[in-house]
C-alpha cells in the first residue's frame, strides 16, 4: 500500500480484475486521496467499466470488488450508488475547505462533470449543508454564485473520559467549540455511578446548549484502558473498580439515541494536535499523553495506527523497572508508575513521607510543578527523574520507529519546563550516534478544555465519510 501513496499511479491486480489509482498533486486533505478508478471489462463476469472521481479516505478500501465481481449487474448498481455517495462527500469537502467557492472552482478541484456537480450542490442545499453567499466577480457574463458550507447544520458531542476528570464538548461541523462542561469523580466512585453521571452529563450539556436534539449527529468518546472500538467495548479501566467489558457504545446509544463512536483517548488527543500544529511536518509523529495514565498515538502517513482493537500505543504499561512500584495493571515498574500525573503526585508524597490523606488527596500535579517552579528541591527531583524515564522510553521508540517528531501533551509543565527539559536531555543522550541524534520533542498545545474535541472530530469524520473500496492484493 505504501507504493500507492508515493507513486502517481499503481495498478493492483486480483485475478482478472485491475484497478488503476491516480494520486493527483492537488491533495488538500491529508486523510483523503482523490483518485480516479477504472475497472476493466473482463471475460469472467458482467462487470462494467466504472470511471469516476471519488474519495478514498483511508488506505484500505472498504468495499469488496472481488466479492461483487461475480454478482453481474448488481456490481454496476452498487457501484453507481457508491460513486454518487462518494461524489457528494467530495463536493461537500471541497466547499468546506475552499468556501466561498463558485461552481466553476468546484469543477476544477473535483474533475466532476457540470451536471453531476450542479445536482449534488442542489442536494446539499436541500440538506441545509450548503448555502448561497453572494456572487463572485464576473469575467464577462453573469456573476457566478458563491457557495458556503453551513457548519451549524449539525453538531457533534465529544467526551474525554480521562477519569477521574471527564470533559464534554459540543462542536459545530468545523470542530468549533460551542459549549463545554466537565467534572472530576472521586477516587472510590462505583461503576454504576460513573455510568449514570456520564449519561446525565451528556443530557445536561444538550439541554444547556439550547440546540435541538435532532441537530446532533453523534457522540465520540475517548476512553483510557483497553477498548474494542468496533464493538464499542471498554474492556478494562484499572482506575475504576469492577470496570470490565462495559459496552459504552450500547449504553449511550440506547439512552441518547445517537450514533456513538469510541477510540483510545490519547489517539483522539493526537488527532487534535495534528489539526492544530502548523508549520511542522505532521505526517509522521509520536504523540504521548501524560494524563492520569500515560498513553501514546503513533501517526504514520497522516493517520494514527489503531492496532487490532484500537489499543496500539499502550506505552504506559511497558515495563521499565522489573522491581519497580506496583502498577494498577498487576505488573511492577510500568512506565506510568513513574510518568503519569497520578504517579508524579504519589512519588512526591512518598518521597516527602506524607502519604495520601484527606489534605494531600487534593494535591495535583499542577501543585508539584508550581513547587518545582518555586525551587522546591524535592519537586524538582521528582519531575526530573520522571522525565528521565519518559526520555528513555522515547529514545527506545525512536530507535524502533525512526520517527523524529514527538509531541508530549497533557502535563501542563510551563514556565521552567523542568519535566520536558529532562525528557529531551535523556532522549538526546540515548540517541547519540543514531540516525536521529536530535529528535524534535515539543510540548502539546492542547488545553484541558479542548481535550474532548477529538471525540467531536471522530463524529464529524464519520459524518463526512465517503464510501470505501477494499482491494485485495
Q: Which residues contact Zn ion by CB under 5 A?
A: 317, 327, 329, 331, 334
Instruction: Considering the complex, state which of residue 133 and residue 332 has its C-beta at the smaller distance from Zn ion.
Output: 332
Instruction: Considering the complex, state which of residue 106 and residue 240 has its C-beta at the smaller distance from Zn ion.
Output: 240
Closest CA to 282 of 367, 404, 138: 404
Question: d(Cα 332, Cα 325) in Å, to the nearest integer?
Answer: 5
Instruction: Considering the complex, state which of residue 93 and residue 294 has its C-beta at the smaller distance from Zn ion.
Output: 294
CB neighbour list of residue 181: distance below 8 Å, 6 or more residues apart: 167, 168, 201, 204, 205, 208
Closest CA to 155 of 128, 122, 132, 121: 128
As measured in angstroms, the least distance from the Cβ of 67 to Zn ion is: 42
Instruction: Considering the complex, state which of residue 88 and residue 317 has its C-beta at the smaller distance from Zn ion.
Output: 317
As measured in angstroms, the least distance from the Cβ of 265 to Zn ion is: 16
| Phi and psi, residue 266, nearest 5° | -75, -30
- Start-to-end C-alpha separation, the chain: 9
Closest CA to 314 of 355, 354, 271, 267: 267
As measured in angstroms, the least distance from the Cβ of 227 to Zn ion is: 16
Contact of 464 with 31, CB cutoff 8 Å: no
As measured in angstroms, the least distance from the Cβ of 129 to Zn ion is: 45
Sign of CA dihedral 318, 319, 320, 324: positive
As measured in angstroms, the least distance from the Cβ of 334 to Zn ion is: 3
Instruction: Considering the complex, state which of residue 331 and residue 373 has its C-beta at the smaller distance from Zn ion.
Output: 331
DSSP state of 332: B
As measured in angstroms, the least distance from the Cβ of 377 to Zn ion is: 29
Sign of CA dihedral 354, 357, 363, 365: positive
Instruction: Considering the complex, state which of residue 167 and residue 317 has its C-beta at the smaller distance from Zn ion.
Output: 317
Amino acid at each position: 500500500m505504501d507504493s500507492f501513496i508515493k507513486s502517481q499511479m499503481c495498478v493492483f491486480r486480483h485475478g482478472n480484475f485491475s484497478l488503476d489509482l491516480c494520486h493527483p498533486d492537488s491533495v488538500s486533505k491529508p486523510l483523503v486521496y482523490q483518485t480516479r478508478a477504472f475497472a476493466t471489462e473482463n471475460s469472467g463476469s458482467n462487470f462494467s467499466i466504472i470511471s469516476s472521481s471519488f474519495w478514498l479516505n483511508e488506505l484500505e478500501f472498504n468495499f469488496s470488488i472481488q466479492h461483487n465481481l461475480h454478482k453481474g449487474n448488481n456490481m454496476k448498481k452498487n457501484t453507481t450508488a457508491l460513486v454518487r455517495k462518494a461524489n457528494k462527500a467530495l463536493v461537500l469537502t471541497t466547499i468546506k475547505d475552499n468556501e466561498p467557492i463558485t461552481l466553476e472552482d468546484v469543477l476544477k478541484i473535483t474533475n466532476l462533470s457540470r451536471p453531476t456537480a450542479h445536482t449534488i450542490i442542489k442536494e446539499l442545499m436541500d440538506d441545509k449543508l450548503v448555502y448561497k453567499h453572494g456572487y463572485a466577480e464576473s469575467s464577462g457574463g453573469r456573476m457566478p454564485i458563491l457557495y458556503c458550507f453551513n457548519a451549524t447544520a449539525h453538531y457533534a458531542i465529544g467526551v474525554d473520559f480521562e477519569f477521574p476528570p471527564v470533559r464534554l464538548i459540543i462542536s459545530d461541523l468545523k470542530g468549533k467549540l460551542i459549549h463545554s462542561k466537565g467534572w472530576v469523580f472521586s477516587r472510590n466512585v462505583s461503576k454504576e455511578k460513573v455510568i449514570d453521571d456520564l449519561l446525565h452529563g451528556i443530557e445536561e450539556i444538550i439541554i444547556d446548549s439550547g440546540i435541538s436534539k435532532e441537530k446532533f449527529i453523534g457522540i465520540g468518546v475517548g476512553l483510557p484502558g483497553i477498548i474494542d472500538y468496533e464493538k464499542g467495548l471498554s474492556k478494562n479501566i484499572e482506575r475504576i473498580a469492577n470496570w470490565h467489558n462495559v459496552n459504552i457504545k450500547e449504553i449511550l446509544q440506547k439512552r441518547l439515541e445517537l450514533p456513538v463512536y469510541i477510540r483510545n483517548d490519547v489517539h483522539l488527543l493526537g488527532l487534535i494536535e495534528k489539526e492544530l500544529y502548523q508549520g511542522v511536518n505532521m505526517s509522521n509523529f509520536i504523540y504521548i499523553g501524560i494524563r492520569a495514565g500515560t498513553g501514546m498515538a503513533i501517526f504514520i502517513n497522516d493517520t494514527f495506527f489503531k492496532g487490532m482493537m484500537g489499543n496500539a500505543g499502550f506505552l504506559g504499561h511497558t515495563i521499565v523497572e522489573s522491581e519497580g512500584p506496583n502498577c494498577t495493571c498487576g505488573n511492577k515498574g510500568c512506565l506510568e508508575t513513574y510518568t503519569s500525573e497520578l504517579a508524579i503526585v504519589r512519588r512526591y508524597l512518598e518521597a516527602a513521607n506524607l502519604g495520601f490523606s484527606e489534605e494531600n488527596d487534593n494535591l495535583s500535579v499542577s501543585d508539584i510543578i508550581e513547587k518545582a517552579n518555586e525551587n522546591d528541591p524535592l519537586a524538582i527531583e521528582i519531575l526530573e527523574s520522571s522525565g528521565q524515564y519518559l526520555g528513555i522510553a522515547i529514545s527506545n521508540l525512536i530507535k524502533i520507529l525512526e520517527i523524529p517528531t514527538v509531541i508530549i501533551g497533557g502535563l501542563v509543565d510551563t514556565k521552567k519546563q523542568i519535566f520536558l527539559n529532562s525528557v529531551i536531555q535523556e532522549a538526546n543522550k540515548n540517541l547519540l550516534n543514531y540516525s536521529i541524534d536530535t529528535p524534535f520533542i515539543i510540548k502539546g498545545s492542547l488545553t484541558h478544555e479542548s481535550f474532548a474535541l477529538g471525540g467531536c472530530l471522530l463524529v464529524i469524520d464519520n459524518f463526512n465519510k465517503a464510501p470505501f473500496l477494499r482491494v485485495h492484493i
